[in-house]
Structure 1
Amino acid sequence: CVAVREVIEVRIAHLFDLSVVSPFFFVVLFSVRVKMKSSALLLYCLYSLLSWHEALIYCKERRMELATIRNKEDHNRILEVIKKLGMENGEKSRMFWIGGTKLHSSRGFFWMSDGDQVSYTNWLNGQPDDYDQSQKCMAYQHGWMNDIRWAWDDNFCSSALSFACEYCW
């Protein structure tokens, strides 16, 4: 994907997807179409709660990737989507999975979309902390200790969180 110019459309749809969640959950799908220089991007923020691996599979089965944040512009794009969805203060969701992981700990964090090493970073204060040497997956989180902003946290891959998929073309 290339740099985002502006969010041009936000649509809200509802899904009931028994293959992903139990029949008691109603999945809310937010579709945000973003205007790009030479392509477009759809970002889906799903409120169903999945582990990082389940979220990765969910995205890939739909020909998408967990969201990748390569630079400040990508971060600002995510913040714009968060704001348009009314999540800017962490009321609706305080944390969601993105596509960074360090499952191969010797490599450090990398993006699952293409295997590139994470170069731009936006960690919350004190993160990543790899608590118990078991936090290998990356999430966006609203606030940690005195750091009240949307930024990254390393988390247990088995934690059930919301997630953001993206589709680039």
Structure 2
Amino acid sequence: MLKTLLPLFLLLAHIAAQDQDTSVVLGLSRLLIVDKVKLAWPGAVQYCANMNMTLFSPNTAARNEKISQFFTEIGYVDKPSIGNDFIYWTSGKFDQTRRKFIWHSIGEEFSYTNWLAGMPDNWRGDEFCVEMGFREVGKWNDTRCKHFRHFICEHLIETL
């Protein structure tokens, strides 16, 4: 199945690059805000990987605040009447072996969090992926990985 999906992911990556998704530098990382495509969490991971990138990890207060400020400045704010257009996947995922949330892209356990009040709640017993922007810019929510969301890819910028 993965073999049949690869051409689709490559096509989507090409389309996204042509549509000029928003790119921003955050410290030593370049972020690609993919807002032309919505994918389930595993698809977003693969999409980023196809571009030699990973899903964004807002693993420090500074990184979370910077991306939140950026979203606010460019008008990517939650608007309840629009639905989930302003919710983005992060690389956060519940690791069932460790019984903790980790940043999938870097393998680290959460040492900083910015959960929405009352979260994570694992509402239906299957909310293992972390999205940001649900109800409030920069706040995190645990949700089902099969939901379709926009996402943010990142990679380190090479320095001389």
The TM tier, using the shorter chain, reads 0.7 to 0.9
- In the TM superposition, what is the alpha-carbon distance from 1:89 to its structure 2 partner? 4.1
* Cα offsets for 1:61-115 (capped at 9, x unmatched): 1111100112110111111221243203446833110000014254310011221
- In the TM superposition, what is the alpha-carbon distance from 1:149 to its structure 2 partner? 4.2
Aligned to 1:7: none
* Conserved 8 A contact 1:46-1:164: yes
* TM-score (norm: length of structure 1): 0.74
Match of 2:132 among 135, 140, 163: 140
Taking every aligned residue pair, what percent have the same amino acid on both sides?
25
Q: Does 1:32 align with 2:20?
A: no
Q: Does 1:57 align with 2:42?
A: no
* TM-score (norm: length of structure 2): 0.78
Higher share of residues assigned helix: 2
Which structure exhibits the higher relative contact order, with contacts defined as CA atoms closer than 8 Å and separated by 6 or more residues? 2
Q: Does 1:112 align with 2:104?
A: yes
For residues 161 and 105 of structure 1, what CA distance do their matches in structure 2 show? 25
* Conserved 8 A contact 2:65-2:138: no
For residues 82 and 149 of structure 1, what CA distance do their matches in structure 2 show? 8
For residues 31 and 71 of structure 1, what CA distance do their matches in structure 2 show? 20
Letter in 2 for 1:46: V
Q: Structure 1: 5+ residue runs without aligned partners?
A: 1-17
Q: 1:22 to 1:165 in 2, by over 3 A?
A: closer
Aligned to 2:151: 163
Match of 2:77 among 76, 88, 92: 88
CA RMSD of aligned residues (A): 2.4
For residues 95 and 22 of structure 1, what CA distance do their matches in structure 2 show? 23
For residues 149 and 163 of structure 1, what CA distance do their matches in structure 2 show? 14
Higher share of residues assigned strand: 1
Letter in 1 for 2:77: E
For residues 114 and 98 of structure 2, what CA distance do their matches in structure 1 show? 20
Letter in 2 for 1:124: L
- Structure 1 residue ranges (4+ consecutive) displaced by more than 2 angstroms after TM superposition: 18-23, 88-94
* Cα offsets for 1:16-58 (capped at 9, x unmatched): xx823999xx745111134x3xxx3211111211000000011
For residues 118 and 138 of structure 1, what CA distance do their matches in structure 2 show? 11
Number of residue equivalences:
142
Q: Structure 2: 5+ residue runs without aligned partners?
A: 1-6
